[in-house]
Structure 1
Amino acid sequence: MKRLLFTTILLNGLFLALLLPHYPGMPWVAAEALLLCGLFALLPGGVGKRAGAVAVGSLYGLLAFFALSDLLVRESIGRPFNLYLEFDVAGSVFDLMQSNLGTTLSVILIVMVLASFVGLAVCVGRLLVQVGQGVPHRTATATTTLGLVALVVASLPQPFVGLSAARTAAQQVELAMDTHRSTVSFRQHLEDNPEAVQSQPLQKLGETDVILGFIESYGISSVTDPRYGALIRPRLAQMEQTLADAGLHIVTGRLRSPVQGGQSWLAHTTLLSGQWIDTQLDYEIFLASDYPTLIDDLANTGHDTVAVMPAITRDWPEGRAFGYNRIYQSTTMDYRGPALNWVTMPDQYTWSWFQRQVRERVDKPVFAEVALISSHAPWVPVLPVLDDWDSIGDGEAFNRWKDAGEAPASLWKDPERVRQHYARSVDYALNVATEYAKRHVDNKTLLVLTGDHQAAPLITGDDASRDVIVHVISADPDLLVPFVGNDTSPDGLHGFRWGAHPQNDLEGPAMARFRPFLHRHFSLPSVSAKISASNPIEK
């Protein structure tokens, strides 16, 4: 009797642990645990009982993996764990671990985690095998009956008894079905708009360098959250003054990103394409289509199209699918300075190299997508900005910060200190971008600085807006006027205003509206009238 009671309590706790991602909305009793204890107490010992226990234990280990993954994914990128999607990003997760923890520690950590799930599976199996020893048949029958009653009660709207294993498994099934329907709809949308598979020249930008700088994790929380606004809002005020002193103008607004905390490429593609792309499957479908992007638009306008991707460390076939004239990545940017944990090179080097090796070496307008990664997790170390840009050269000037700062594994033991480093890294990224603009933006330049997504929920909180901040900078104010107009069309932008500070109380339009907005305001009227490139999908 005591064995049955102990096993029931222990299994109840183990099964309730599957619902930790839904804390504090967890029941007190897991109906499946109660029923399993009763059923296995009734079963006679033997091969059949052991086989059943192994099956249940293995299933529990798998569901426990789902539950832990759900917790981690919710905290890192602000959405539930979705087995239908995660296989495609597992490699990126390992790359992030490897760059911050090293290969050996990453492998050891993965092996330990997997071993823990195997251990849980074995534990549950052993408990079920032993549960019937010395238990009277009447007691086992009563426990089974109680378990059946608990199943019925769990189906009723009450907070005390629930289904844990079934709920965890059902969540994955529902997510898989929803994701499948979504991707089928997205594929059909692209197929149903064949007339849209043509680029849209932006003739009004025909003599203008268009630079699209994605600042990693530069979300609206960096100014609306008091923990970060105390540092970032003064930085924006200084940014505004510095640009004004240099004869530059700036407008600022907000756009809603399709992602949070990671998978930056989905945000990049959404903005470039004018389509709402929030899953890896949609991304792959889009790449396989002939749907054009801003890259095609500006290539047909006469621009040299370039991608500057310092975070890319290996072959990037997706980049070739976008159709850039040239792609530069970490191994082709001549950097001789130190790696900074995940960050292959600091933003100041990226800006300096881009100006020297790209803009100053072409005799035609440039469209460049520049990935700025100094504000990428783990946010350590945070470098100072060098006053003498001419001294940057091949990056050896940054060697003095080799091994600077503490190890990420040490920093991330203290969430509050992680948040402080996040704010400092965004401050650095804005400072460097401002200094670049002061030196190299003129009336033939349109510089768009935008966040790719909000930082992880650990930084922003669970219910933060997914908006990012967007700055548009030029010495020619006429290039900025369309952004502050009252464009209420379905593909318009709203909420932009002069200055470096976004509005705090007005949510931004979807990132997918950016490309149609440029079509509307920077194409010639005769061409704009032909736009049939479907309104952006806003899921």
Structure 2
Amino acid sequence: MGSEGRSRAAAVVQSLGWLGFVLVVMLLNALLSFGNDWPGIGVVLRPQLAPEACVLVLGLVVFAHLRGRVPASMCSTWAAVFVLLVLVRYIDVTVPAVLGRPVNLYWDGRHAWQVLLMAWSGQSAARVLWTGCAVLLGIAALFLIVRCCAVWIGGFSSVRGGRLWAVLAGMALPVAFHMWQPWFDREGRPLFADAATPAVHRAVLQWRDAVSPARQALLLSDSPVEAFARADLAALGGGDVLVLFAEAYGAITLDDGDLAAQLEDARAVLDAAIRRDGREVVSARVVSPTFGGGSWLAHSALLSGVDTAPAGTYETLLASDRPTLTGHFARHGYRTVGWMPGLQMPWPEGAYYGYERIADVHTLGYRGPAFGYWRVPDQAAMALLHVQEFDSGREQPGRPRFVVFPTVSSHAPFRPLAPWVDNWAALEHSDAYDAATHAAVLAEPVSWSDPRPAYVASMRYTLTWLAQYLNERASPDLVLVIVGDHQPVGSVTGPGANWEVPVHVISANARLSRTLRERGFIRGVYPAETALGPMHALTAILLEAFSKLDGVEVAVDD
């Protein structure tokens, strides 16, 4: 920039003064304090202070004051760093909203291309091209805007150098407040936005842990599946196995007197349905690695036998080669199926588990109306699972099934809840739920402040369709493992609730039930009051029960 140009810039800066400086800083702050406009991939402005914007502006102000000017190359570099942080923040607030979890640099990076292909499947090449160009142009425009802001700040700080300490104080105070205490406004929102740089640091650590066998060995507990690598599944007699993760089915349904009383008759109906055809149920409690949400931590803990409660272990597990129950059953000739009615988006993590088939909301064949965000009622999902996989093995007959089915109808806020359908066969068609009933269900109010009535209704629904399925459709040799994934949200449990969940194993296999009783299970639908241990400890118990025969020692690796 020539002397004449710098003079004109200085004149403009002097004319706008502090007002211009404040407006520029507000713009930069907004670029690093936005949030996700859920549900979706858009952003929404938030009245928060961004610590990193303060730090970057402060650094530019100090440099301009000490050097008298800011070179154009430095403004470009500063703008590039700032735009990079904006992109990191966008990813950091968008991925959890879309995928339900924070971004994992190692795992998501490996599958980013496949995810993009899935997201754009069915779109025209022209639309994909225009969208890509629009994104690149948007990033370029953002860079130019931020660079102009950097030039402005440099010019202002050079001209107004005598007021440096006022600028320093104004920029440093928000940073200090962010570091020392989480101030809140009247609506309970933090006055300071979460920084974006910790996301970069977290991603680097995840990458390090994922690619380092030594770090994996340090972070991950041993997998019992390895110990049973040479053990067969003879105790199952070739029967199908269904692991059903009952969403939000927590020990509160047993420990809270009011909830237990409201569910007593539904449990009695389930117990009667179990005993009707010679089946038996044994029950226990385990401690879930999560509470009120984060179901995937419970799923992965049971399927791998690895403790996923410590922070970072879940992400490290997905990038490891730890064996899974899915792989163990596959090696013994089972067809392995992940029946995922709640899965509505690409799921690159599914590759870790090694399912032969993953059926999500788009591919499991449901043709009825959507019931809220989760769309597919559990009863309908079970009906479709039975027809496609259990009913004489319609897909690949002759092979037993190992199916993992996480339910969704009892997910918070527990409404809308689909009505009960007596005719299971009707659930395969689009007219299973009539329009008037569907509209009435959708009109039921949702309450986050008092969700207990809706929670009870969702639990009754779960117990009812399970009982009816066992009465009318289940094969006699089916082994049904029902595991609560976690306790419901705190507005249901109240403060101080434990993290325990019920486990029920239902089968007509007397030897299987006896082995489980030897490991702490008790007969009936009511488990003992003491938990057997953490969720991942249940994996070894089940493997032993599935493998053990009378008078026969289980052969495992040393």
TM, length-normalised to structure 2: 0.63
Residue of structure 2 equivalent to 1:447:
480
- 1:257–1:308 Cα change, 3 Å: same
- Pick from 186, 210, 213: which aligns with 2:241? 210
What is the distance in 2 between the residues matched to 1:91 and 1:276?
30
Q: Distance in 1 between matches of 2:80 and 2:522?
A: 61
Task: Give the number of equivalent residue pairs.
Answer: 496
User: 2:305 matched to which residue of 1?
Assistant: 274
SS state at 2:242 partner? strand
**CA-CA distance at 1:200 after TM superposition:** 1.9
1:379-417 Cα deviation digits (max 9, x unpaired): 66421111233x526334425259935999x99998559
SS at match of 1:181: helix
Give 3-state SS (helix, strand or coil) of 2:420's partner. Answer: coil
Q: CA deviation at 1:331?
A: 7.5
State how far apart, in whole Å, the 2-side matches of 1:274 and 1:382 are: 33
CA shift at 1:509, angstroms?
3.5
Match of 1:382 among 398, 405, 417: 417
What is the correspondence of 1:334-483 to structure 2 with a 5 Å cutoff?
Answer: 335-338=366-369, 340=371, 343=374, 345-356=376-387, 358-361=389-392, 366-375=400-409, 381-389=416-424, 391-392=425-426, 394-401=428-435, 404-405=438-439, 424-440=457-473, 444-452=477-485, 468-474=501-507, 479-483=512-516
1:169-188 map, 5 Å:
169-181=197-209, 184-185=212-213
Structure 1 residue aligned with 2:272: 245
Equivalent residue in structure 2 for 1:54, among 67, 79, 84: 79
Task: Show the 5 A alignment for 1:95-106.
Answer: none
Alpha-carbon distance in structure 2 between the residues aligned to 1:482 and 1:35: 67
1:214-251, Cα deviation, whole Å (9 max, x unpaired):
33x3353874998xx96x64564233211333325341
Does structure 2 conserve the Cα–Cα contact (< 8 Å) formed by 1:15 and 1:165?
A: no
Contact (CA 8 Å) 1:446, 1:472: kept in 2 or not? yes
| Matched-pair contact (CA < 8 Å) for 1:306–1:369 | yes
Equivalent-residue separation in structure 2 for 1:160 and 1:244 (angstroms): 50
The 5 A counterparts of 1:8-19 are 10=26, 17=33
Q: Distance in 2 between matches of 1:399 and 1:459?
A: 29
Please report how far the alpha carbon of residue 507 of structure 1 lies from its aligned counterpart in structure 2 after TM superposition.
6.5
2:35 and 2:93 in contact (8 A); partners too: no
CA-to-partner distance for each residue in 1:110-154, whole Å, 9 max, x for gaps? 999999999987765544432333864542544577699889x96
Matches within 5 A, 1:224-263: 233-234=260-261, 236-246=263-273, 247=275, 248-257=280-289, 261=293
SS of equivalent to 1:472 = strand
Runs (5+) with no aligned partner, structure 1: 99-108, 488-493, 534-539
Using the TM superposition, name which of 85-94 and 52-61 deviates more: 85-94
Instruction: Find the partner of 1:6 among 12, 22, 40.
Output: 22
Pairing 1:517–2:541 present: yes
- The superposition leaves residues 260-313 of structure 1 with CA deviations (integer Å, 9 ceiling, x where unpaired) of 84674x754542343456545633543xx7x4635634863xx75452626378
Give the gaps of 5 or more residues in structure 2: 1-16, 37-46, 121-130, 184-191
> Per the alignment, in what secondary structure is the counterpart of residue 483 of structure 2?
strand
1:531 aligns with 2:549: no
Q: Distance in 2 between matches of 1:326 and 1:308?
A: 6
Q: Distance in 2 between matches of 1:62 and 1:17?
A: 12
Aligned partners of 1:433, 1:8: CA distance in 2, in Å?
Answer: 60
2:339 aligns to what?
309
Cα distance, 1:274–1:368 mapped onto 2, change above 3 Å: same
Q: Note if contact 1:218-1:455 (Cα within 8 Å) is conserved in structure 2.
A: yes
| Alpha-carbon offset, residue 169 of structure 1 | 1.4
User: 1:68 aligns to what?
Assistant: 93
User: How far off its partner does 1:361 sit?
Assistant: 1.8
Indicate conservation of the 8 Å contact 1:35/1:148, yes or no.
no
* 1:168 and 2:184 are equivalent in the alignment: no
User: Cα distance 1:96–1:76, how it changes in 2: closer, same or farther (>3 A)?
Assistant: farther
What is the CA–CA distance in structure 1 between the aligned matches of 2:211 and 2:291, rounded to whole Å? 16
Call closer, same or farther: CA 1:47–1:267 in 2, change over 3 Å: same
For 2:544, the aligned partner's letter is R
User: Within 1, Cα distance between the matches of 2:326 and 2:79?
Assistant: 55
Contact 1:446–1:479 (Cα < 8 Å) also in 2: no
1:220 counterpart (228, 231, 250): 250
Matches within 5 A, 1:105-120: none
Q: Structure 1, residues 328-382: CA drift from partner, whole Å, max 9, x if none?
A: 7777766554455665643223333444554452697944314254426896642
Offset at 1:211? 2.4
CA distance in 2, matches of 1:479, 1:314: 37
1:366–1:313 distance in 2 versus 1, CA, 3 Å: farther
Q: Conserved in 2, the CA contact under 8 Å of 1:443 and 1:475?
A: yes
In structure 2, the partner of 1:105 is: none
Structure index of larger Rg: 2
One-letter identity of the residue aligned with 1:394:
E
Cα 1:351/1:509, change in 2 over 3 Å: same
Residues 256 and 467 in structure 1, CA contact (< 8 A), matched pair in contact too: yes
* Secondary structure of 2:428's aligned partner: coil
Cα pair distance change 1:142/1:235, threshold 3 Å: same
Instruction: Check whether the contact 1:26–1:159 (CA below 8 A) recurs between aligned residues.
Output: no
2:480 aligns to what SS in structure 1?
strand
Report % sequence identity: 22
Farther off after superposition, 441-450 or 7-16: 7-16
Task: Let me know the Cα RMSD of the aligned residues.
Answer: 6.1
In 1, are the aligned partners of 2:366 and 2:376 still within 8 Å (CA)?
yes
Question: What SS does structure 2 have at the residue aligned with 1:383?
Answer: coil
- Is the alpha carbon distance of 1:418 and 1:5 closer, same or farther for their aligned partners in structure 2, counting shifts above 3 Å? farther
What corresponds to 2:11 in structure 1? none
